[in-house]
């Protein structure tokens, strides 16, 4: 790759998520053409992950939660590829592109926003049977599977097959897992009106979590409210329970339960991008002690990477892959991995790079949490709102409306905001679509079948 940038400082951003997109956009606003910017990501778009539960429930069109990097970041070079080596000592990053071309990209400033991946456990059958819920493709696949299973179950006479088809299992009771199962159950309840052969009692939703509570980000009273809400809706919530195995579609849990399931969704935590811990791949200082910070880049309050001999002045890190001190929460606290912090950290990095280019002092990252909101299905939600020094608990319709309002505000681009709201309005008029298209994962299947048939003698 040609690394000549006409004498301009070159900012290389690893990751096109909330951190990368915000950093690049704000840098372009503040410095204009005074800098060259390159963004590297394996996907050519940013996924707004807080909306994935509503994608999985059919409330939002999948494309409307995606922000195309090339369209938004005009004047920025976007490289679709995977980072295979980070050599900060040489100001160099190696990237493998989609077409198997290896690029060596030099930089003046590096921003590490590689995000996180699902944290899998060595559970028999998990890797083969489960699906995650971190990417839009996964949310769409879950929705299509659930809706297709309703149609298939309504057509079968075999009670064992019907029971398996209508058993949906989710592992992980944090915000991602809790919202995912709540929104999916709400979609199924809404769809049952079109299936006279099925009854709500035929459906089994199971939520498994090893902790003694779900939604750990909420207060004890709020957690109790959510737990009661889910159980009133018929969702089985197994607390202090482990998934022991998932071989051949049979779930076995530590409480002795054993059942067949046709869908297993894994939401039991994430870990920083594994490339940061791979020996010989990255020379960035990473926390290796076991705990919630393991695998994260050691980061100072101004978001520079904290090297063995002090700050690495031209390398910044933020988001899910960085241990960023939370100055608003107090000494020894670190920012939680959520979009609220990631976006604001991206803005702080952009400003600090501009300050560095202009020879001004850097500023520490400080953000006081605005609150935590979750949707639990149509018109249902829960959350805690921080206004000044006061905190307010919200439940039901107010929490649902507040969550939607905030996420529309946070969603990049006016066009995407408008599309999301328009979709919601359409759903109010015509209700959610109940068509599942599981065949989209194998779009050539029908063509291949026709080709094989045509090749046979008539």
Q: Helix, strand or coil for residue 183?
A: helix
**30-81 pLDDT tens trace:** 999 999 999 999 999 999 999 999 999 999 999 999 999 999 999 999 999 9
- What stretches in the chain show pLDDT beneath 50? 1-2
Per-residue model confidence (pLDDT) at position 456: 59
Which structure tokens are listed for 432? 């959610």
Per-residue model confidence (pLDDT) at position 2: 46
Per-residue model confidence (pLDDT) at position 1: 47
DSSP for 263-292, written as a single string: EEEE-S-EEE-GGGTSTTTB-S-B--SSST
Write out the H or E segment, with its range, that includes residue 232: helix 220-232
DSSP for 75-93, written as a single string: T-EEEEEEEEEEEGGGTEE
Per-residue model confidence (pLDDT) at position 429: 84
Q: Helix, strand or coil for residue 1?
A: coil
**331-388 pLDDT tens trace:** 889 999 888 999 999 999 999 999 999 999 999 999 988 888 999 999 999 998 888 7
Residue 111, phi then psi, degrees to nearest 5: -120, 120
pTM to 2 decimal places: 0.90
* Residues 6 or more apart in contact with residue 50 via CB below 8 angstroms: 339, 407, 410
Query: Which residue from 85, 87, 84, 114 is spatially nearest to 14, judged by alpha carbons?
Result: 114
298, 144 in Cβ contact below 8 A? no
d(CA 89, CA 340): 32
Query: Which residue from 351, 352, 395 is spatially nearest to 376, judged by alpha carbons?
Result: 395
d(CA 156, CA 165): 10
Token match 């897992």: residue?
177
245, 208 in Cβ contact below 8 A? no
209, 87 in Cβ contact below 8 A? no
């Amino acid at each position: 790759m040609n690394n000549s940038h006409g004498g301009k400082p070159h900012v290389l951003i690893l990751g096109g998520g909330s951190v990368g997109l915000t950093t690049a956009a704000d840098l372009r606003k503040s410095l204009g053409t005074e800098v060259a910017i390159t963004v590297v990501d394996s996907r050519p778009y940013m996924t707004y992950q807080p909306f994935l539960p509503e994608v999985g429930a059919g409330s939002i069109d999948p494309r409307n939660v995606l922000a195309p990097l090339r369209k938004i970041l005009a004047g920025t070079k976007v490289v679709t590829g995977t980072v295979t080596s980070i050599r900060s000592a040489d100001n160099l990053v190696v990237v493998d592109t989609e077409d198997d071309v290896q690029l060596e990209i030099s930089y003046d400033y590096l921003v590490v926003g590689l995000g996180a991946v699902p944290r899998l456990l060595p559970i028999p059958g998990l890797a083969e049977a489960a699906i995650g819920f971190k990417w839009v493709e996964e949310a769409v696949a879950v929705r299509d599977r659930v809706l297709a299973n309703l149609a298939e179950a309504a057509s079968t006479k075999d009670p064992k097959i019907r029971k398996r088809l209508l058993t949906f299992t989710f592992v992980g009771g944090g915000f991602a897992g809790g919202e995912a199962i709540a929104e999916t159950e709400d979609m199924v309840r809404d769809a049952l009106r079109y299936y006279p052969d099925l009854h709500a009692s035929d459906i089994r939703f199971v939520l498994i979590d090893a902790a003694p509570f779900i939604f750990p980000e909420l207060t004890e009273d709020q957690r109790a409210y959510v737990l009661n809400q889910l159980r009133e809706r018929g969702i089985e919530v197994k607390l202090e329970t482990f998934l022991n195995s998932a071989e051949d579609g049979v779930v076995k849990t530590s409480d002795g339960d054993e059942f067949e399931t046709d869908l297993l969704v894994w939401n039991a935590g994430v870990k920083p991008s594994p490339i940061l811990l791979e020996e010989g791949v990255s020379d960035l200082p990473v926390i290796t002690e076991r705990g919630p910070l393991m695998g994260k880049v050691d980061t100072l309050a101004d978001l520079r990477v904290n090297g063995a001999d002090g700050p690495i002045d031209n390398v910044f890190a933020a988001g899910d892959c960085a241990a960023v001190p939370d100055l608003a929460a107090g000494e020894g606290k670190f920012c939680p991995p959520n979009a609220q912090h990631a976006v604001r950290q991206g803005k702080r990095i952009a400003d600090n790079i501009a300050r560095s280019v202009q020879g001004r002092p850097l500023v520490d990252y400080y953000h006081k949490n605005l609150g935590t909101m979750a949707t639990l299905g149509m018109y249902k939600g829960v959350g805690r709102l921080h206004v000044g020094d006061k905190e307010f608990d919200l439940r039901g319709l107010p929490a649902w409306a507040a969550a939607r309002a905030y996420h529309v505000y946070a969603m990049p681009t006016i066009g995407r905001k408008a599309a999301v709201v328009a979709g919601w309005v359409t759903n109010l008029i015509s209700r959610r679509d109940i068509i599942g298209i599981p065949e989209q994962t194998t779009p050539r299947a029908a063509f291949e079948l026709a080709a094989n048939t045509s090749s046979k003698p008539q």
